[in-house]
Amino acid sequence: MSSATPAVHADAAAPARADSVGRRLLRRPAAAVSAAVILILIVVTVGASLFAPYSPTAANYDLLFAPPSWAHLFGTDELGRDLLTRVLYGGRTSLLVAFAATTFAMVAGVAWGFTAALREGWIGEILMRVADMLMAMPVVLLGLVLVAAFGASTLSMIIILGVLFTPATARIARSTLLVELRSEYYLAAVSVGASGLRIVARELLPNTLPVLTARGTLVLAEVIFVEASLSFVGLGVQPPDTSWGTLLQQGYSNLYRSYSYPIFPGLVILLAVLVLNTLGDNLQKVMDPSRS
């Protein structure tokens, strides 16, 4: 058995590894719970029209700022609308911004980082220096500047947050790829004369994907956090669009009339960020036990 040739061995191990990352991840209780919570959050917000107990626009002027009750689990807002319903619908915007901005950051960051890794010399050097410079700015601050420059709306949030998290992703993509470039399978692919694009798409990308996925999960959490921060100070998603951040902002300005109004959107943001962070951390540990 031990005399199996390395080639066969590597072939058999490749699919098994990808499979076991998922399994090893779910064997960790914290990761399994987090994954379940994320799934539930996505399902109930995307299917808000199915799960929400009321219509998001149904006002009830006899029941303004109601505290939590069985009829209204999160209470009601300044127009007597059901807060749970609004949180579910608001989650659509928050998660849309989060996923779209993260996809933006990952695609742009990977392209940037891979180019820097593959084009060593002055191109790579310049690309990384620019990334360093952008990373030298605190995220919320650069976010504010970009909002000042390009305005605040749901669409501009996606682009601004995507841009904000691109440099850090580029740095990670580059360092991950540099490790892979020292591997034997890469040398093998080069030596059989595979084209550059093919090597990137068929060999390098699949092998860096686990690390990049872990990074993406953490970016999701950060995007939700920063979007909520900007919307909270009124410089993010703008009414009539509703996100968790704008709900929190409206709840905060009515703090003295209803405690539940700001608290529930706040707790939902906390929950989302917490489970995404936990999942991302566990993903990193599963894939690279030495770094945990």
Partner 1 sequence: MLRYIARRLVTSVALVFLGSVLVFLLMRVIPGDPTITKLGGTIKDVNPEALAAIRHQLGLDKSIPEQYVSWIADMAHGDLGNSYFSQFSVTTLAGQRLGATLELALMAMVIGLLIAVPASVAGAIWPNRVLNAVLSGFAAIGIAIPTFVIGILLIIGIGVELEWLPTQGYVSFQRDPFGSLQSTLLPAITLGIGVAASTMRILRPSLVDVESASFVRTAKGKGLLRRQVVMRHELPNASIPAITAAGIIVAHLVGGAVIVEYVFARPGLGTLLVDSVFQRDYGVLQALVLLAVIVFIVTSLVVDIALGFLDPRLRTKAVR
State the residues that interact with partner 1 by CB under 8 A.
Answer: 132-134, 136-141, 144-149, 221, 225, 228-229, 232-235, 248, 251-252, 255-256, 259, 262-263, 266-267, 269-270, 273-274, 277-278
Q: What separation in angstroms does the CA of 228 have from each of 62, 102, 180, 190, 202?
A: 30, 15, 36, 46, 38
Q: Quick one: 59 or 148, whose CB is closer to partner 1?
A: 148
Nearest distance in Å: CB 71, partner 1: 23
Nearer to partner 1, 172 or 269 (CB): 269
At closest approach, how far in Å is the CB of 233 from partner 1?
Answer: 5
Residue number, 84 or 269, with CB nearest to partner 1 = 269
Q: Please state the closest distance from residue 242 (CB atom) to partner 1, in A.
A: 17
Give the pair of three-digit tokens for residue 223.
């995007």
Minimum distance, C-beta of residue 230 to partner 1, in the bound complex (Å): 9
Q: How far is the CB of 164 from partner 1 (least distance, A)?
A: 11
Interhelix angle for 83-118 vs 29-46, to 10°? 120
Q: Which is nearer to partner 1, 189 or 286 (CB)?
A: 286
Minimum distance between the CB of residue 290 and partner 1, rounded to whole angstroms? 12
User: To the nearest whole angstrom, how small is the minimum distance from the Cβ of residue 29 to partner 1?
Assistant: 12
Identify which of residues 165 and 207 has a Cβ nearer to partner 1 in the complex: 165
- Specify the residue, 125 or 184, whose C-beta has the smaller distance to partner 1: 125
Instruction: Kindly tell me which of 72 and 171 has the beta carbon lying closer to partner 1.
Output: 171
